[in-house]
Amino acid sequence: MALNSVTVRVPAKVNLQLSVGPRESNGYHNLVSVFQAVSIFDDVTITKSHAGSGVTIAITGDQTHGVPEDGSNLAVKAAHLIGEKFDIDTDVHIEVKKSIPVAGGMAGGSADAAATLVAMDALFKLEATREELLELGSQLGSDVPFMIAGGTAVGTGRGDQLTAALSRGTYHWVFALSSVGLSTPAVYSECDRMRAELEVADPKVSDTLMQALLSGDPELVGKSLSNDLQNPACSLRPALTLVLEVGREYGALGAIVSGSGPTVAFLVADEEAGLDLAVALTASGVVGSVARATGPVHGARVI
């Protein structure tokens, strides 16, 4: 029976390590990123439309503010890209049910693009290889390949060259969410400004973090979290410093700005500790809202 509609569930991500190299002449930075996919999900449903309708998109859910419903949305770009690659008419309607924070450093836009690639592949029976999907993803954005892959992985280059990381156990996270996003380009510009007089080394994977993940010890992982964009994000949004301090004060094993922010991620020992921290953060008044999640989880997949 011909499929008319496909839904793909895709996770958010947190960076356990984000190391940013010097700014290259093309404006990009070489990155080393250790990603973990976490259990906050967007659901992307793609439905075939009538001929000539093109790609349309609608955004629903509890994280819709500021998400474009036009051709600038990465999901729309993903539909066009895979359509060109496989020479198919992309007359489809995309519905994104969003729970991943917008402009929060958790790759919500990249997640929706990844889900669109996977959904289009299933809907049109393209039988794309994993490598083809990852390559298309890397053309859309440096986080997109990881959102297809999921789990825990090391990203190099612009963050899009992936290697699975050896990781044991389940990790419990509490995320302090902000009602106002931060622009990724602005955070990178601030990073360049703050480091203008410094000699910046090429980024390397943290052996300490890799050993901690292999041991499955959340306390060691918590101590090994690092993000070169944390200080720039805090420079642009000073309130983040207080959020980080409050989380540590209330027992987080590790605290880090996720990606380019402004979401702050706290690693905790277990589910009970996560609940306690979520309550404490909410009561403190320094956080707009909180979300709890576990990782690692799978990447984009059909449900």
Q: Which CATH architecture has domain 5-165?
A: 2-Layer Sandwich (3.30)
Higher pLDDT, 160 or 90: 90
Strands across the sheet containing 264-268:
254-257, 264-268, 171-177, 289-295
| DSSP-derived 3-state class of residue 46 | strand
**Strand residues in the chain grouped as ranges (E):** 5-23, 29-48, 55-61, 92-98, 152-156, 161-164, 171-177, 226-227, 254-257, 264-268, 289-295, 301-302
123 within 8 A of 82, measured Cβ to Cβ: no
- pLDDT over 90 at 303, yes or no: yes
CA–CA distance, 18 with 232 (Å, rounded to integer): 13
Catalytic position from the list 13, 48, 77, 98: 13
Higher pLDDT, 179 or 19: 19
| DSSP-derived 3-state class of residue 137 | helix
pLDDT tens, position by position, 104-138: 889 899 999 999 999 999 999 999 999 999 999 99
**Strand residues in 161-288 grouped as ranges (E):** 161-164, 171-177, 226-227, 254-257, 264-268
Mean pLDDT value across residues 10-21:
96
Q: Phi, psi (5° rounding) for residue 277?
A: -65, -40
- Chain mean pLDDT for the chain: 93
What is the per-residue pLDDT for 1? 56
What percentage of the chain exceeds 70 in pLDDT?
99
CA–CA distance, 283 with 70 (Å, rounded to integer): 38
Catalytic position from the list 43, 112, 143, 228: 143
175 within 8 A of 264, measured Cβ to Cβ: yes
Can 223 be counted among the known catalytic residues? no
pLDDT tens, position by position, 265-287: 999 999 999 999 999 999 998 88
Distances (CA, A) of 29 to 67, 156, 191: 26, 10, 11
What is the per-residue pLDDT for 297? 97
Domain boundaries for CATH 3.30.230.10 within the chain? 5-165
Q: Pick the closest to residue 167 from 125, 224, 111 (CA basis).
A: 224
Domain boundaries for CATH 3.30.70.890 within the chain? 171-295
CA–CA distance, 118 with 128 (Å, rounded to integer): 9
Q: Pick the closest to residue 37 from 142, 131, 149 (CA basis).
A: 149
pLDDT tens, position by position, 216-261: 999 999 999 999 999 999 999 999 999 999 999 999 999 999 988 8
* Residue reference for tokens 């419903």: 69
* Residue 194 pLDDT class (50, 70, 90 cuts): very high
Can 121 be counted among the known catalytic residues? no
Q: Which CATH class is domain 171-295?
A: alpha beta
What is the per-residue pLDDT for 3? 79
For CA atoms 192, 197, 202, 204, the dihedral sign is negative
CA–CA distance, 281 with 248 (Å, rounded to integer): 10
108 within 8 A of 101, measured Cβ to Cβ: yes
152 within 8 A of 295, measured Cβ to Cβ: yes
